[in-house]
A = this chain, B = another copy of it.
Amino acid sequence: MALKSGDKYAAILEAAQTVIARQGYHSAQISKIAAEAGVAAGTVYLYFKNKPDLLVSLFRERLGMLIEGARTSLTDARDAREKLRHFISQHLRSLAARRELAVVTQIEMRQADSSVQHEISQIMKGYFRVIDEIIEEGQASGLFRRSVEPLQIRNLVFGTIDQTVTAWVLSGFKFDLEALAEPTFALITGGLCITSEGGTQKHGDSGAA
């Protein structure tokens, strides 16, 4: 077995993504994926242990790519605030350029059963780590408010961009996802409220953690 080395490994992953995006998670039989990849069904099992392994591998490979892109985008940002801006921008740009992948990650893969979901959760931790590092730096440098738990900040950041991409996919890609990067960044960092006493910013911060 050409352990991941052959082009067939990548071809099968690509075929899986295509078939899942096109036909939906529950219609993505191994036979269809194999046909899309131009190999026999049995060949899939030379490269993947079983179907869950194929799906998890697909997710891992693609998320790895996103993580790498995210980390790269952070290198030339001067502070946590800029890093967050780049991170959001990079996330939306990456998926805007990969509609098929967006359908798979936002919609179809979420239908996977619990065992696959559990693996996916583990893989997601790598992505969360990138966010968490930005948050930590931001709080340490005093740019980000310390009155809120880092985990809850992560929920804000990830929840918002995740929901944004999902809405974009469900809309049928009807709006410009990349263009949402800057407003979303402004919203997250500056807050929804305009007033000087926006949020409980002043008193909240002085009193807590």
Measuring CB to CB, which residues of chain A are less than 8 angstroms from any residue of chain B? 24-26, 81, 84, 107-108, 110-114, 117, 121, 138, 142-145, 147-149, 151-153, 155-164, 167, 170, 180, 182-195, 198-201, 204-205, 208
Q: Is the CB of B186 within 8 A of A194?
A: no
Residues of B within 8 A of A205 (CB): 194
Find A190's partner among B151, B159, B184, B199 (CB 8 Å cutoff): B199
Q: How far is the CA of A180 from the CA of B161 in the complex (A)?
A: 20
Which of A189, A192, A199, A204 gathers most chain B CB within 10 Å? Answer: A192
State the oligomeric state as a number of copies: 4
Nearest Cβ distance between residue A154 and chain B, in whole angstroms? 8
The DSSP consensus for interface residues of chain A is: helix
Q: Give A201's nearest chain B residue, CB to CB.
A: B190
Q: Give A24's nearest chain B residue, CB to CB.
A: B114
Find A199's partner among B156, B163, B191 (CB 8 Å cutoff): B191
Which of A84, A149, A163 gathers most chain B CB within 10 Å? Answer: A163
